[in-house]
Amino acid sequence: MNNQNEIKNIVLIGFMGTGKSTIAKALSNLYGMKIAEMDQLIEEREEMSIPDIFAQKGDAYFRTVETNLILELQQHKNMIISSGGGAPLREENVKAMKQNGIVYLLNASAETIFARVGQDLHRPVLNGRRSVEGISELLDQRMPKYRAAADYVISIENKTAAEIAKEIMRQHRSTHS
């Protein structure tokens, strides 16, 4: 294993409700790495909730703030970066993620996603899509970009957060050995 400073970031991407934040916490608990929780950082800095940013400033504004944060975070190493579900949709974001990071795509079915976040009003992108069909449509639309961004794809179905964290770390270590 290389020097600590040489360890790349673990960048978690995936649709809303695929467990990015929970798995980031499990990784942090197990391996002591620091987490950058992007949506939370954006809310803190903008002093506004994500739904309020979308409603009051618009989604283009949110996407610009998101890109700026990714550019800032790529200067760090050995961190867990838990990104928002729309972050891999812009090519420049993906380029920045890969600068110092390995990108792990968390995958779940539309049914699982609906059960987890279908009724969560904190996710404005789901407005008008709060059904398995609505989620499935957006998931299919985004999947080519998610897959193109991913270095590794991890299914989260029927696994605990700790199991997934260990799976990611095994992969991550093997990319550094």
Residues 40-79 binding ligand S3P (CB under 6 A) are 50
Quick one: which of 86, 88, 101, 118 contacts ligand S3P (CB under 6 A)?
86
**Which of 129, 90, 91 shows the shortest CA–CA distance to 113?**
129
**DSSP bridge partners of 12:** 82, 104
Q: Does the protein bind ligand S3P through residue 88 (CB under 6 A)?
A: no
The C-alpha angle 140, 144, 146, rounded to 5 degrees, equals 95
Task: Return the number of the residue (7 or 20) whose C-beta is nearest ligand S3P.
Answer: 20
Judged by CB under 6 A, the stretch of 24-32, 71-79, 82-90, 98-106 that binds ligand S3P is 82-90
Q: Does the protein bind ligand S3P through residue 125 (CB under 6 A)?
A: yes
Q: What are the tokens at 83?
A: 């990104």
Quick one: which of 19, 85, 88, 101 contacts ligand S3P (CB under 6 A)?
85
Sequence-ordered alpha helix ranges (H) in 32-90: 38-46, 50-52, 59-73
**Read out DSSP for 93-120?**
HHHHHHHSEEEEEEE--HHHHHHHHTT-
Tell me the residue nearest to ligand S3P as measured from the CB: 84
Cα distances from 92 to residues 57, 81, 88, 99, 112, in angstroms, run 22, 16, 9, 11, 29
Quick one: which of 11, 16, 149, 154 contacts ligand S3P (CB under 6 A)?
16
Least Cβ distance, residue 138 to ligand S3P (angstroms): 8
Least Cβ distance, residue 176 to ligand S3P (angstroms): 27
Find out whether 106 and 13 touch, Cβ atoms under 8 Å: yes
- Site size with ligand S3P, rule: CB under 6 A: 10
Q: Which residues in this chain contact ligand S3P in the complex, by CB under 6 A? A: 16, 20, 39, 50, 84-86, 123-125
